[in-house]
Amino acid sequence: MLGRKNEKNLASKKRKLILILIFSLIFLDLILHLLNLNFPQELVFDEIYFFNFIKSYFTGEYFFDIHPPLGKLSIAGIAALLRFGFDQENLFLLRSLPALFGILLIPLSFLLTKKITNSLRAAFLAGIFILFENALLIQSRFVLLSSQLIFFNILTLYSFLSFREAENKRKKIAWLIFSGIFAGVALSIKWTGVSSFGIISFFLFTDWLKERERFEFNNILSLSKKIFLILLIAFTIYITSFYFHFYFLNKPGPGNAFMKKGFKIGLENPVLFLDKFISLNQIMFKENLGIKANHPYSSHWYEWPLMRKTIYYWQGRKGDIYLKGNPIIWIGSTLAVISLITLRIIKKRFPFSKADFLLVSYFANWLPFSLIKRPLFLYHYFTALIIAVIILAILLDKYLPKYKEKEINFRYYLRKEYLTIFVILIVILGFILNLPTCLF
């Protein structure tokens, strides 16, 4: 009886500790993303472009952008819902949606890490590291598309991992559908979201190879159906976003100059919707390839893991804002990726499936940028960074001393987890030293 009572007490204390950790994470998450979000009360870096793009959905004036429309449409939807007047005195409302996705990224990363490891400590470390990563925080506090893109990229990974682990057939189908939806949303925000399809296709194929001994027609058909379902769902979302794009932009505007001769705005003629969709995507592709001019803050893909070149965003009387990350996180996560490769290939001391999923996801979101010739920026590395941070959290959890539940008491916890606490404090210090204080 006494043993059972002690077990119940331990379980109760553990639940309380977990709740304290989670609510502390959420509280800090909200404070860092929402506090003084209206500052500066002027447009920062690329906000000037997206501010005008979103405003065009209200005026109806046709504009051209090299990115798909869903990210801009979603911010315009929030602007309409909150009755934003497009003055720069209340930018909080317009910045609220990117900030919301920045907020949601922390619990999502927590859940993804927990799903991969089944370790609360690893999940909490991942959440803490991403919360105190300066560049991710700064990027999500402005009217930019990155926080939406990153969130749906990571959500796609979570959904697809849930699909792979589901044993019930109906659950597998549901998670596969969700994977297609979230991948389609990511693609409809920026074309770089295509990395999700590469990851899904790769693991569908490798899982199929493991399960099938022979290349039979029915087996190949089963694989093809899954890939086709993903692509169909994603394409439906993608083309629908353009439908609303054309629907709201029903007046001549600066975007007409980019279009082919005879291009008609709006959706007056239903027969032409598909033609307009194809034409616009061709021009978007051409314009993406045609960007050759150098930018003072552009950087090469191989410079990103060590954050070799930051981006200057804003200067004011209260201070400057740079897109600069927490060096502890960036260097630590890069070393973690190298360590995981070593463990996976040389020592073979890490579970293959977990290591493969993480490494393929990381490189699929980083290496394709080596093929892009137009100017690139540090924020293009952010999805890969999130995965690298999760790898860092997992490896620290695996090799740092662990607290034993059977000997639960606070003093013992502090003694046993001193290295974990030390790592967290170092990360927070790196965050504070590199934080633009003018934001708060």
**pLDDT of amino acid 21:** 76
Average pLDDT over residues 189-205: 92
Which one-letter DSSP state was computed for residue 346? I
User: pLDDT grade, residue 412 (50/70/90)?
Assistant: low
Rounded CA separation 284/64 (Å): 8
* Cβ–Cβ under 8 Å, residues 321 and 438: yes
pLDDT at 268 over 70: no
Count how many Cα atoms sit within 13 Å of the Cα of residue 363 in the half-sphere of its side chain: 10
Least confident stretch, 76-80, 175-179, 234-238, 313-317: 313-317
- Please report, rounded to a whole number, the percentage of residues in the chain having pLDDT higher than 70: 87
| pLDDT higher than 90, residue 1 | no
pLDDT in tens, 209-230: 777 665 566 677 788 888 999 9
- Work out the pLDDT band at 316, boundaries 50, 70, 90: confident
Q: Cα–Cα distance between 323 and 440 in angstroms, integer?
A: 16
Mean per-residue pLDDT for 71-86? 90
Over 70: is that where the pLDDT of 408 sits? no
Helix (H, G, I), strand (E, B) or coil at 62: coil
Nearest to 386 by CA among 226, 177, 156, 67: 156
Amino acid identity, position 68: P
Residue with token string 């005195």: 89
111 touches 46 (CB < 8 A): no
Q: Which residue has the higher pLDDT, 109 or 346?
A: 109
Tell me which residue has tokens 């005026």: 59
* Model pLDDT for residues 391-405, shown as the tens digit of each residue: 999 999 988 877 665
The predicted pLDDT at position 2 comes to 44
Q: What is the mean pLDDT of the chain?
A: 87
What is the C-alpha to C-alpha distance for residues 109 and 107, in angstroms, rounded to an integer? 5
Beta-carbon count within 10 A of 155 CB: 24
CA dist list (Å): 113 to 14, 386, 387: 19, 11, 9
Output the pLDDT for position 343: 85
What letters, b where the CB count within 10 A reaches 16 and e where it falls short, cover 379-417?
Answer: bbbbbbbbbbbbbbbbbbbeebeeeeeeebeeeebeeeb
What percent of the chain lies above the pLDDT cut of 90? 55
Where do the domains of the chain lie?
A: 22-40+99-140+291-440, 43-87+145-290
The identity of residue 430, as a single letter, is G
Tell me the pLDDT tens digit for each residue of 322-358: 999 999 999 999 999 999 998 888 766 555 577 889 9
Chain segment 23-68, per-residue pLDDT in tens: 888 899 999 999 989 888 889 888 999 999 999 999 999 999 999 9
pTM of the model: 0.91
Average the pLDDT over each of 61-65, 145-149, 255-259, 297-301 and give the range with the smallest value. Answer: 255-259
SS (H, E, C) the chain: CHHHHHHHHHHHHHHHHHHHHHHHHHHHHHHHHHCCCCCCCCCCCCHHHHHHHHHHHHHCECCCCCCCCHHHHHHHHHHHHCCCCCCCCCHHHHHHHHHHHHHHHHHHHHHHHHHHHCCHHHHHHHHHHHHCCHHHHHHHCCCCCHHHHHHHHHHHHHHHHHHHHCCCHHHHHHHHHHHHHHHHHHHHHCHHHHHHHHHHHHHHHHHHHHHCCCCCHHHHHHHHHHHHHHHHHHHHHHHHHHHHHHHHCCECCHHHHHCCCCCCCCCCCHHHHHHHHHHHHHHHHHHHHHCCCCCCCCECHHHHHHCCCCEEEEEECCEEEEECCCHHHHHHHHHHHHHHHHHHHHHCCCCHHHHHHHHHHHHHCCHHHHHCCCCECHHHHHHHHHHHHHHHHHHHHHHCCCCCHHHCCHHHHHHHCHHHHHHHHHHHHHHHHCCCHHHC
